[in-house]
Amino acid sequence: ARRAGLAIVPSGGRTGLSAGAVAARGELVLVLDRLNGIEDFSPVDRTVRCGAGVITAELQAFAEDHGLFYPVDFASA
């Protein structure tokens, strides 16, 4: 991409809700939807490490299963 002078647009869960993965000017879309696992959870710190392809609804369900609440984040939905 660098040699070709292309910008890279990362694409996570590809739900299309935030229109963030649109290649409007011929950019290269880097599809990350297969990075959809929840990798680590710390109940003490209340932190989750997950892949870029995890969609918000899945993360919310995971949080609820652990007695937590993950609010809607429109910037990443």
Instruction: Encode pLDDT of 9-46 as tens digits.
Output: 888 766 666 666 667 788 888 888 899 999 999 999 99
| Centroid of chain to Cα 75 | 10
Would you state the structure tokens that stand for residue 22, as one six-digit string? 């649109």
Q: Is 22 within the bounds of a domain?
A: yes
> Averaging pLDDT over each range in 38-42, 48-52, 70-74, which range is the top one?
38-42
Q: Is 73 within the bounds of a domain?
A: no
Q: Is 51 within the bounds of a domain?
A: yes
Task: Give the range of the structural domain holding residue 51, as residue numbers without chain letter.
Answer: 8-65
Q: Is 23 within the bounds of a domain?
A: yes
Residue 72 has pLDDT above 60, yes or no: yes
pLDDT of 70 reads 93
pLDDT of 14 reads 65
Domain count, the chain: 1
In angstroms, what is the C-alpha Rg of the chain? 15
| Centroid of chain to Cα 32 | 8
Q: Is 72 within the bounds of a domain?
A: no
Residue 50 DSSP class: E
Q: Which residue has the tokens 């993360």?
A: 59
**Cα–Cα dist 28/7, whole Å:** 6
pTM, to two decimals: 0.70
